[in-house]
Amino acid sequence: MFCLWPAYTQASGLLLTTEDSPPAQMMREGVLAGRSVDKVREIMRRTGTQYDMQLLPWARAYELALRPGALACVFSTTRNVQREGQFKWVGPLTKSDWVLFGQAGRDYGIKSLADVRRYVVGTYNADVRDAWLKERGFRVDTAPQDEMNPRKLMAGRIDLWANDADVGRILLQNQGLETEIRPVYTFHSLGLYLACNPAVPDGLISRLQIAYDDMARDGFNRRIDSEYDKY
């Protein structure tokens, strides 16, 4: 794959990478849009920051933002203990509720995370929920693409599927499975951020965060969230 990273310098701006994950980021009528995309664009506009935004598979988007010396940021990125020192953070752009989805006709009897240990949970490669569950000793079956997991669930190859509540809902709608698969248990909630490589100057990070805070105060973020709540 052609790599844009080496060409990026402080003069040419930031490389911003993201994945297809509606409603936070997606292609809409041939244009990259979404709850987080619109906020990031506004942050760049308000700070006068030059940038190039690329829609990539998540593992690739994340890798580019982590390369040594890269003037790059990746979003929407979960901020956790493991990643805290790897990036400089701007946001939060939005919130993520982590949900376990299951077959609509099955009684799982899940009242706590301890009850999940008797099940196999489907995740996808490089997703934060995959790492989170593995680190805590849950039985995980990792797929190369998240789109595979609803079919794996219906075929009985996994018992549950871990995803963001909104992302999972939209994926099920796209696959015509919204009546066959339902949310079973919400097991975590946290913020999603613009995660920038340590090489991005502190002064720029500060200006980006100030712009975001201004957007939160003046109602821009609420307007964007309201627009995509209808998606």
What is the separation of C-alpha 69 from the centre of its chain, rounded to a whole number of angstroms? 23
The 10s digit of each residue's pLDDT in 77-128 is: 989 888 999 999 999 999 999 999 999 999 999 999 999 999 999 999 888 8
Chain position carrying tokens 């066959």: 180
SS3 200: coil
The phi, psi pair for 167, rounded to 5°, reads -60, -45
The predicted pLDDT at position 126 comes to 80
C-beta neighbour count of 191 within 10 angstroms = 16
pLDDT greater than 80 at residue 42: yes
Domain ranges of the chain: 5-95+191-229, 96-189
Q: What is the pTM of this model?
A: 0.75
pLDDT greater than 60 at residue 1: no
Which CATH number is associated with domain 96-189?
A: 3.40.190.10
Q: Which CATH class is domain 5-95+191-229?
A: alpha beta
Chain position carrying tokens 């402080």: 10
